[in-house]
Amino acid sequence: MTEMRSRRLMLVHAHPDDESINNGATMARYAAEGAQVTLVTCTLGERGEVIPPELRHLSGAALGGHRLGELKDAMRALGVTDFRLLGGAGRYCDSGMMGLPDNDDPGCFWQADVDQAAGLLAEVILEVRPQVLVTYDENGGYGHPDHIQAHRVAVRAVELAAGAGWDVPKVYWNRVPRSVGEEAFAKLNGELDGLPFEKAGVLDDVPGVVDDERITTVIDGTAYASAKAAAMRAHATQITVADPYFVLSNELAQPLFTTEYYELVRGERPLSRESDLFAGVGEAP
């Protein structure tokens, strides 16, 4: 059993590295403040594209095992001790990008029975009893099948857990406000000549971008910028960091956000932007 702390945050992600890119500063902040931070990762990312040439021999289960090691290092950088793989290591494998034959693999997460996978996640919810759960929107942020499936499974798991004794008070989607993204990319383009990256991406490369008015919550993680960058560097097969920027395997530079943004989708929508995911949540056991 997880220690029952007064504030409990759960994050549901598709692959190792998603958590550090989307929520690394948030995770580090709440862990440092003494909250229980629980990460559930749905696959090991066995079909991810590998950046370093010396590691490109890794694929399939070997890559998954390596990425699990990267995840452990990233969690150490963020100060998070409770991280789990949905159903255990290897229960669901990476589905690859949308439209590829990999999507048809009966063992991949995209092909998982949603109720069955949600039942496994609901067991974790009932154990941890988080007041806050963070995951992706219905498009998975950018359309990756495992991200879409993580959304579906998380939503259903919250429903199942509510019926079995724990109603998660607040659920958030990961977001980036459009104005913030536009400003960050304008700055990136102005600094590109001094970076080890040849090309900059565009705002459409960033998952979860929405109009500013949809943002309900802003988490200032600037004090944990170095922890987030270290966690992202730990995912070396997938990410190259030149703080405050990074690239994925497409080699297109994008900003590393240390203030992280959310949209509350379960719970009472605040009249003004929150600065705390636990705003309005009591400390019930």
- Which tens digit of pLDDT belongs to each residue from 124-142? 999 999 999 999 999 999 9
Q: What is the mean pLDDT of residues 226-238?
A: 98
- Which residue ranges make up the annotated binding site for Zn(2+)? 15, 18, 147
pLDDT tens for residues 163-172? 999 999 999 9
Task: Give backbone dihedrals phi and psi of 218, rounded to 5 degrees, phi first.
Answer: -125, 120
Report whether CATH 1.20.1250.20 matches the domain 8-176+208-237+259-266. no
CA distances (Å), origin 248, targets 94, 124, 158, 284:
17, 31, 31, 41
pLDDT tens for residues 35-61? 999 999 999 999 999 999 999 999 999
Q: What is the mean pLDDT of residues 176-200?
A: 97
pTM: 0.96
pLDDT of res. 282: 67
Domain boundaries of the chain, sorted by first residue: 8-176+208-237+259-266
- Which residue ranges make up the annotated binding site? 15, 18, 147
Q: What is the mean pLDDT of residues 202-209?
A: 96
pLDDT tens for residues 65-107? 999 999 999 999 999 999 999 999 999 999 999 999 999 999 9
Q: CA–CA separation, 79 vs 20, rounded Å?
A: 12
Burial 13-27 (b: 16+ CB within 10 A, else e): bbbbbbbbbbbbbbb
Task: For residue 210, count CB atoms less than 10 angstroms from its CB and return exposed for 0-12, middle for 13-18, buried for 19 or more.
Answer: middle
